Amino acid sequence: MATVAFFECLDYADRAAVRRAIDGIFEAAGGAEAILGHGRRVVVKPNLVMKKEPEGGATTHPAILEAVLEVVLQYTSDVCVAECPGGLGNDAVLESIYRVTGIRAVCEKLGVPIARDRTAIKLDFPQGYAAHSLDLLKVMAEAEVFLNLGKLKSHSLTGFTGCAKNLYGAIPGLFKVEYHARYSEIRTFCEVVLDLNRALRPALSILDAVIGMEGNGPTGGEPKFIGGILGSVDPFAVDAIGAKLIGITQEEDAPILRAAEEHGLLPETINVVGDDYQAHIQSDFRLADAQRFNVLRDMPNLFGGRLKRFLEPHPVISKRCVGCGECARVCPGKAIEMKTVNGAARRARIRKRQCIRCYCCQELCPQKAVDTKQKSFLKL
Ligand code: SF4
Ligand code: SF4
C-alpha cells in the first residue's frame, strides 16, 4: 500500500496554502528529516520542458519550488536545482528557460544554485526492463537525495505526464532524441520511464496540479485549473491519483501506469490523506488530439509495427509554422525537412514514411504549429 497526500491549493499566490501542502506532503511521507537527513546533497528537479511563463501550465510553478527549497534549506545547504529541458538548447537557451519560467528568481532569492554542468554519465542498469544502461545528467545521478517536482498535463505520446515521466528530463539533450528513436514503440518507451524511476529513485515526488495543462500537452495545450498539490514517496502512486484528477479512467489513456502495473510497480492500494481530492476531479479534461484520435492504441504490432504506425494519428505542419527549424533539429526519425515556400519563407515538411509518431515536433514547436491528423476512414 502507498500513501499519497493531496492538499487543496487554489492559487499559487497563496503562499500559506502552497507551504501547507508541501509541509503536509513531507509529513505524510515520513517527515522532512527522515527524507532529507542532515547535510546531504539534495538535487531538486522541476519540469521545465520549454521556455514558458509559469501561468502557461507547462512547467512546475516557481511557488512550489520555493516552498520545497524552504523546507530543504532547514536540513542542508548542499542543494541545487537541475533540469535538462526538451530540445537541443545551448547555455543561452537554458538560461532563458530558467528566467522565463520564474525558476531563476526563486533560486536567486534563496541562494540556491542552478546546476549548469550538463555532463552526462552512463549508468549500467542490467535490471532494466527496456534499457540496460542509461545516459543521465551526472548531477542528478549522483544526488544523495533526489526530489522530483512534476507537473500534471496531457501528453500526446503518453496520455498524460506527471511525476514518473518527469524523469525523462534526466536524459541529456541529444540522448533524448536517440532514446525516442531507439525505444519508439510506446510500451518500451514507457518501460524506459519505469527504468529511469528505478535508477534515480526519487526520495519524494510532488505533483503540481494547481494549474495543469489540457489539450495538446505537454506544451501546446491550454492551462487547466485543477486546484491541488499532491505527493508521495511513490511516483507511480502520485501519478495514479493525478490521472484520476484529470478524469482518466481507461488504462489505455495511461500507458506508463499500465506498464508500471504490469511490472508490479503500481501499488494495489493507495491511501489518500489530506484534503478531499475527489472534489477536484476534472471530468471535462481534454486529452491531446493524438490520444483522442488514436482508436487503435492497443492494436498488436503486426508487420513489425508498420501497420499500426500507418494507422496512428500523424503530425501535420500548419500555416502557423514560421520555419524556425526546431522540430527538424529534434526529430528522432529525421523525418522533417525545411522547405522554401513560394521562393521566400521556410516551412517544415514531414516525410510521413520516416515519422515514428513520437510527437516531439508537436511538443517542442514554439508556435504550436504542429497539429495531429487522423486517417479519414478511422474517424468515428
Ligand atoms: S513547425 Fe514549429 S518548430 Fe517546426 S519549423 Fe515550424 S515553427 Fe519551427
Ligand atoms: S515528424 Fe514529429 S512525430 Fe514524426 S518522428 Fe519527427 S518529431 Fe516524431
What are the structural domain ranges in the chain?
A: 2-288, 293-378
The protein residue whose alpha carbon is closest to atom 3 in ligand 1 is 365
pTM assigned to the model: 0.93
The protein residue whose alpha carbon is closest to atom 2 in ligand 1 is 365
Per-residue pLDDT of the chain (380 residues; tens, 9 = 90+): 999 999 999 999 999 999 999 999 999 999 999 999 999 999 999 999 999 999 999 999 999 999 999 999 999 999 999 999 877 678 888 999 999 999 999 999 999 999 999 899 999 999 999 999 999 999 999 999 999 999 999 999 999 999 999 999 999 988 999 999 999 999 999 999 999 999 999 999 999 999 999 999 999 999 999 999 999 999 999 999 999 999 998 888 999 999 999 999 999 999 999 999 999 999 999 999 988 666 555 565 655 566 666 678 899 999 999 999 999 999 999 999 999 877 767 899 999 999 999 999 999 999 999 999 876 655 55
| Cα 109 to ligand 1 centre (Å) | 35
| Cα 107 to ligand 1 centre (Å) | 31
C-alpha cell at 286: 481534454
| Cα 339 to ligand 1 centre (Å) | 11
Cβ neighbours, 10 Å, residue 119: 11
Q: Which atom of ligand 2 is nearest to the CA of 359?
A: 3
The protein residue whose alpha carbon is closest to atom 6 in ligand 2 is 331
DSSP 96-156: HHHHHTTHHHHHHHHTPPB-----EEEEE-TT-SS-SEEEEEHHHHT-SEEEEEEEEEEET
Ligand nearest to the Cα of 181, by number? 2
Total residues belonging to the chain? 380
Q: Which atom of ligand 1 is nearest to the CA of 364?
A: 3
The architecture in CATH of the region 2-288 reads 3-Layer(aba) Sandwich (3.40)
H helix or E strand, kind and range, residue 24: helix 15-28
Strand blocks (E) in 183-221 = 204-214
Residue with cell 500559506: 16
CATH 3.30.70.3270 is right for the domain spanning 293-378: yes
Task: Residue 49: name the closest of 132, 155, 130 by CA.
Answer: 155
| Cα 87 to ligand 2 centre (Å) | 13
Tell whether ligand 2 has an atom less than 6 A from the beta carbon of residue 364.
Answer: no
Q: Which atom of ligand 2 is nearest to the CA of 356?
A: 5
Q: Which atom of ligand 1 is nearest to the CA of 326?
A: 3
Tell whether ligand 2 has an atom less than 6 A from the beta carbon of residue 84.
Answer: no
